[in-house]
Structure 1
Amino acid sequence: MSAASATVDGFGPSGNASRAVNPWLIVVVVSMAAFMEVLDTTIANVALPYIGGGLAISTDDASWVITTYLVANAIILTASSFLAKRLGRKRFYMICVVLFTVSSVLCGLAWNLESLLFFRILQGLGGGGMVPVSQSILADTFPPEKRGQAFAAFGVAVVVAPVVGPTLGGFLADNAGWEWCFLVNGPIGILSVVLVWLVLPKPKLAERERLEQEGIRFDVIGFLLVATFLGSLEVILDRGQEDDWFGSNFIIAFTVICILAFVLMIPWGLTRKSPLVDFRMLATRQFGSCFIVMLMAGAILLATTQFLPLLVQQSFGYTATWAGLVLSPGGVVTMIMMFANGRLLTFVQPKYLIATGALIVAASMYGLTNIYADIDFSYFAWSRIYIGIGLPLIFVPVLTASYAGVPPDMTDQASALMNAARNIGGSIGVSLGMNVLAFRGQFHQSRLVESVYPSNPAYQDTLQKVTDYFVNQGSSVLQAQQQAIAWIGQQVQIQVAFLAYVDVFWTLMLLALAAVPLALILRNIKLGAPAAAE
């Protein structure tokens, strides 16, 4: 198949469409929709304080806006392979874009937390099918020797969008209101629907007819088990800290449900003719390792794009716009690296690129464990630049490696599972970070206040000096003493926050390091040609 044109969906040699389309035009069209969908995983991150203030809820409750979207995304991803075949890729793709666009506008019009979360779930369901179908389109459009470059171009949308999201979200939240973080998808979604309609030809129904002839039906029970498992897992992660973990009957109940769903869905999937999730793929060394690495990469990507803006807003007084701008230099570097990866993958084994990227990310996380009160903008920007170098070295190679040996009729399943891994990992990363932040914050506060008591000579000395300072500023002795006590308490809270964020970055560093051995056990693939299945 030529790199200059491709027959689309069937996008490729096995396709059924009647006309040729320039494959790079297909890349542009599917990347636009994917960019919009992935953008919404992080565009609200820096706007969480605004959302909390606007809806009269805490920042912790507002974080559900992020995680509910990711979980809904992951749930529908598991069903996207069947739905794309049953409805046809183009039709399913357009349904997803329309649902995503409409629900985005409704998110901007939400009147309370419950309505916002409901519309975010709809938005996640709509967006969940867009990225895997895009990837399977590209996998079938391009021959193996060109897939690295195609995934690199497409990867700009998947990896850069979460970085652009906070910058754009911060600007919109500061200047137009948090609602516009969602309303902005309206015109972009309409344009995307038009382009998909014009560029992607209507497929014939060969795949649908094959499913009907073979009696393959949607795995409803499998879908319900997966949805129950992922949904209950998210509830446990999000509410565990607030509800005192297993001291709460609510958390215990959801834990039992989560474990039961997990235990049932594996034998169910292994005994079905056409399971919703093909666990046999996950059991292979190549695809299974790629799946786990993608879980880790998704956790780091989403966690860093949420906690770094929160840190600079809460502890350094940055506005939402400046918090977003902290991530911008990394976004530019990421874009450059994505295109460089396309070249690197023509002569470097994916496993070495993944391991290198994980080490770079780990080094960046280690750098963030050294934060202190006088750190300037450039320190955070440079840390993000290093992450922007490392993460693309993980994402594009792991996608390329995951398709090695996957039969053409399983590319939809592979795409769905890899994107589910990214979103599930992102959701777990955000929830894990929130729990580490809360738990370690309590720990550090209990330890720091041990030294803040009236009979402590160091405390007395500090109190006297700060009192003298406020007296010199014109306060009475009594007022100055009260101000000094308040100032000392404020300094304790600042140190607690710093130490808690340091623990979050330590956790993410260890997660990045854990991806290195997993990358190195991947087998070599024949660069520029498909590899045999394991």
Structure 2
Amino acid sequence: MQEQEEDSLVEYGTRRIIITITAVLCALLEIIDTTIVNVALNDMRGSLGATLTDIAWVITAYAIANVIVIPMTSWLSKQFGRRNYFAVSIVIFTVASFLCGNATNIWELVAFRFIQGLGGGALLVTAQTIITESYPAAKRGMAQAIYGMGVIVGPTLGPPLGGYLVDNFSWPYIFYINIPIGIIATILTLTYVRSPKFGEKLSVKQVDWWGILFLASFIGSLQFVLEHGQQDDWFNDNLITALSVISVFGLIAFIWREMVYEHPIVNLRVLKNNNLRIGTIYTFILGFGLYGTTFIIPIYTQSILGWTATDAGLLLIPSSITTGLMMPFIGKAIERGVPQKYLVAAGFIIFFIFSYWMHNLMTPDTGSEHLFWPLVIRGVGLGLLFVPITTLALSTLKGKEIGEGAAFTGMMRQLGGSFGIAIITTLIFRFNQQHRVDLIPNINPTNPIVQNRIQGLQQLFMGKGFSANEALARAYQVLEGTIRIQGTVLTYMDIFLYMGFAFLICVPFVLLIKKGAGKVDTSAVH
């Protein structure tokens, strides 16, 4: 009966194409909005009169709402019907986008971004489930590949698109651009998407309100700690310490509640599935690599190489195109029975090669031509990781468990990204300090080489009309700047090296994947 229900949702021809485009469009919308604001923060700060700490909440509020709602999407779909829930989420996201663009002060914008995040979080997982349901069993690997194109390309498109809109129009347009797409997606969803029959809905009294509260306190607090930990000096800050404690106790209370309550908001029992457990761990690592590298490369090119935000964003486009081109081939390989664990192992090895190559490339003068091929290799690595990990995680689940599994992988990818950015930000700060301490002795004025360098710079500035003392001070400033740049370059070299080894260490653990998991259980995928 269940298999008949699943088969009844399979679509063919033009109808399937329209549903696929709608779902990928919504996933793209959501993911682009996580990164598009990054390049507009300065303009927002100026026009809304906000401090640097205040403006960071524009990113944090969206991320917190996103990561709270993702684990609940499977339950909400059952409660309201998948099509209705998906359509309402698009409407919430679209209306909130309009309100964000019209915000008159920073806290209005933060509140509307939170609402936008609640709508957006649902789009990712529900889009994945809708696409998977619309394809027959034999084509499910290809379905994940199509969905993966949106998820992988999205974070990369955000910065260049945001840069273009800010440079040529104004920051509200990064939100207004969502409105026409949202309207079209809502109409297409209501016209074409169908809902599976989930059985009885819960009454208000049966809803797991405590589960929702514990989940929100655990995930919300954790996301805040990860976003603000470094700038607030981690556990030296009372708020960070308090939220860390709330997060730990929230997690314990959440797990207890979900295991004992009859109608849990998140079905944790689905994690008894070995493939899903391994898949969620690898999805976390994938999120770390995807969002971590998308975060660090633009910072390096802007702070060291002096590139504009738009140029820094455009640099990542070849990597995304490579991933997009690879996705259908990976989908085909999985359909033909190539074991996922070999593809995942190859992806981790290629990501190590990319990271090690970047480590060796880092200089204050690195050009876009030097970065092109390593970033293409990154695209190959992401392509080899995303589809196999996602299909592996869901491969031995049955029926409604697929939606629940997709919610876990979606949450872990987002949390992996948050952990990645938090760890990288902390390492940049710590390594920078250490390299500065190590490099300072190299500008000892008693060293003849240093003396010659200082005298040469002093003569240069004196030739431009500065007095001897002013020229000497400026010579030391130049040396100080050189030390700062060299320290920062060494920092990025270290981060890429450690990141590479983290991926390499994962390769042996791929062997934990049980025999027979390499092929998708096509009768089960839903």
Q: Distance in 2 between matches of 1:52 and 1:424?
A: 27
Contact 1:21–1:199 at 8 Å: present in 2 too?
no
- For the pair 1:133 / 2:123, whether they are aligned, the reply is no
Are 1:210 and 2:200 an aligned pair?
Answer: yes
* Candidates 94, 98, 105, aligned match of 2:98: 105
1:144 aligns with 2:137: yes
Structure 1 residues 63 and 352: CA distance shift in structure 2, 3 A = farther
Query: Shift of the alpha carbon at 1:307?
Result: 1.7
Letter in 2 for 1:489: E
Q: Is the 8 A contact 1:436 1:503 kept in 2?
A: no
Q: For the residues of structure 2 that align with 1:341 and 1:11, how far apart are their CA atoms?
A: 28
Residues 1:355 and 2:345 aligned together: yes
Contact 1:357 1:393 survives alignment (8 Å)? yes
Q: Which residue of 1 aligns with 2:500?
A: 509
- Does the Cα contact within 8 Å between 2:125 and 2:407 map onto a contact in 1? yes
After TM superposition, the structure 1 stretch with the greater mean CA deviation from structure 2, 186-195 or 40-49, is 40-49
Aligned to 1:12: 6
Cα separation, partners in 2 of 1:105 and 1:331, compared to 1, 3 Å: same
Counterpart of 2:15 in structure 1: which amino acid? N
User: Residues 71 and 212 (structure 1 numbering): CA distance in 2 closer, same or farther, change over 3 Å?
Assistant: closer
Match of 2:220 in 1: 231
Q: Is the partner of 1:210 in helix, strand or coil?
A: coil
Alignment of 1:303-314 (within 5 A): 303-314=292-303
Q: CA shift at 1:394, angstroms?
A: 0.9
Q: Contact 2:137–2:523 at 8 Å: present in 1 too?
A: no
- Please, which of 256, 267, 270 is the counterpart of residue 267 of structure 1? 256
What is the CA-CA distance between 1:226 and the residue it aligns to? 1.7
2:400 maps to 1:409: yes
Whether the aligned pair in 2 keeps the contact of 1:46 and 1:323 (CA below 8 Å) is: no
**RMSD in angstroms over aligned alpha carbons?**
2.9
Aligned residue number for residue 467 of structure 2: 476
Structure-2 residue corresponding to 1:276:
265
In the alignment, is the contact (CA less than 8 A) between 1:171 and 1:320 conserved in 2? no
Q: How far apart, CA to CA, are the structure 2 residues paired with 1:265 and 1:46? A: 36
Alignment partners' CA distance in 1, 2:45 and 2:433: 22
- Relative to structure 1, the CA distance from residue 360 to residue 216 in structure 2 (aligned partners, 3 Å threshold; closer, same or farther) is farther
Equivalent residues in 2 for 1:250-261, closer than 5 Å: 250-261=239-250
Q: Report the AA paired with residue 201 of structure 2.
A: L
Any conservation in 1 of the 2:431–2:491 contact (CA below 8 Å)?
yes
* Corresponding residue for residue 366 of structure 1: 356
2:522 maps to 1:530: yes
Q: Deviations over 1:151-183 (max 9, x none)?
A: 111221111111222221222232223332222
Aligned pairs for 1:389-468 (under 5 A) are 389-468=380-459
Contact 1:86 1:211 in 2 (8 A): yes
Q: Which amino acid aligns with 1:424?
A: L
Aligned to 2:108: 115
Q: Using the alignment, how far apart are the partners of 1:265 and 1:528 within structure 2?
A: 31
Aligned to 1:4: none
2:183 maps to amino acid: I
Distance 2:142 2:11 in 1: 26
Measured in 1, the distance between the counterparts of 2:217 and 2:87 equals: 27
Question: Cα–Cα, structure 1 residues 447 and 63, in superposed 2: closer, same or farther, change >3 Å?
Answer: farther
Instruction: Identify the residue that residue 367 of structure 2 maps to in structure 1.
Output: 376
Q: Which runs of 5+ in 2 are unaligned?
A: none
Q: 294, 304, 311: which one pairs with 2:283?
A: 294
Alignment of 1:130-209 (within 5 A): 130-201=123-194, 203=195, 206-207=197-198, 209=199
TM-score by length of 2: 0.91
Paired letter, 1:369: H
Q: Which moved more, 1:89-98 or 1:256-265?
A: 256-265
- How far residue 51 of structure 1 moved from its aligned partner, in angstroms, is 4.4
How many Å apart are 1:41 and its aligned residue?
2.0
Q: Give a deviation string over 1:188-218, Cα, whole Å, max 9, x none.
A: 11121122122225x58x42x52349x9943
Q: Following TM superposition, by how much is the alpha carbon of 1:118 offset from its aligned partner in structure 2, in angstroms?
A: 2.4
- Shift in CA distance, 378/56, structure 1 to aligned 2, threshold 3 Å: farther
1:45 to 38, 46, 49: 38
Residue 40 of structure 1 aligns to a residue whose secondary structure is helix
Of 24, 47, 55, the residue aligned with 1:31 is 24
Matched-pair contact (CA < 8 Å) for 1:11–1:140: no
Task: State how far apart, in whole Å, the 1-side matches of 2:46 and 2:341 are.
Answer: 45
Change (3 A) 1:307 1:48: farther
Q: Distance in 2 between matches of 1:493 and 1:217?
A: 59
Aligned to 1:519: 510
| Letter aligned with residue 384 of structure 2 | L
CA distance in 2, matches of 1:431, 1:51: 23
Instruction: Please name the residue that 2:238 is paired with.
Output: 249
Secondary structure of 2:304's counterpart equals helix
Q: Give the residue type in structure 2 aligned to 1:38.
A: I
SS at match of 2:201: helix
Q: Does 1:344 align with 2:344?
A: no
SS at match of 2:37: coil
Q: Distance in 2 between matches of 1:51 and 1:405?
A: 47
CA contact (8 A) 1:46 1:306 kept: no
Distance 1:466 1:130 in 2: 58
Q: Distance in 2 between matches of 1:182 and 1:520?
A: 44
Number of residue pairs matched?
A: 522
In the other structure, the counterpart of 1:327 is 316
For the 8 Å contact 2:15–2:192, the answer to whether it is kept is no
AA partner of residue 167 (structure 2) = D
* TM-score normalised by length of structure 1: 0.90
CA distance in 2, matches of 1:286, 1:19: 29
Matched letter for residue 218 of structure 2 = F
Asked if the contact 1:77/1:419 (under 8 Å) is kept, the reply is yes
| Superposed displacement of residue 457, structure 1 | 4.5
Distance of aligned partners of 1:248 and 1:527 in 2 relative to their CA distance in 1, 3 Å threshold: closer
* Contact 1:296/1:511 (8 A) holds in 2: no
Displacement, 1:516?
A: 2.4
| Match for residue 66 of structure 2 among 67, 73, 79 | 73
SS of residue paired to 1:475: coil
1:493-508 paired onto structure 2 within 5 Å: 493-508=484-499
Contact 2:435-2:491 at 8 Å conserved across structures: yes
CA contact (8 A) 1:211 1:217 kept: no
- d(CA) in 1 for partners of 2:202 and 2:234? 47
2:62/2:113 contact within 8 Å kept: yes
Question: Could you tell me how far apart the structure 2 residues matched to 1:66 and 1:459 are?
Answer: 45
Match in the other structure for 1:5 = none
What letter matches 1:76 in structure 2?
Answer: V
C-alpha displacement of 1:49 = 4.7
> 1:63 & 1:365 partners in 2: Cα distance?
28
| Greater fraction helix | 2
Shift in Å at residue 389 of structure 1? 0.8
Label 1:55 to 1:295 Cα distance change in 2 as closer, same or farther (>3 A): farther
Q: What's the offset of the Cα at 1:474? A: 4.1
- Is the CA contact 1:27–1:138 (under 8 Å) kept in the aligned structure 2? yes
CA offset digits 1:82-106 (Å, max 9, x no partner): 1111111111001110111122233
User: 1:411 and 1:469 mapped to 2: Cα distance?
Assistant: 69
What is the alpha-carbon distance in structure 1 between the residues aligned to residue 7 and residue 68 of structure 2? 30
Q: What are structure 1's unaligned runs of at least 5 residues?
A: 1-8
Q: Tell me the residue number matched to 1:3.
A: none
The whole-number CA distance in structure 2 between the counterparts of 1:19 and 1:332 is: 27
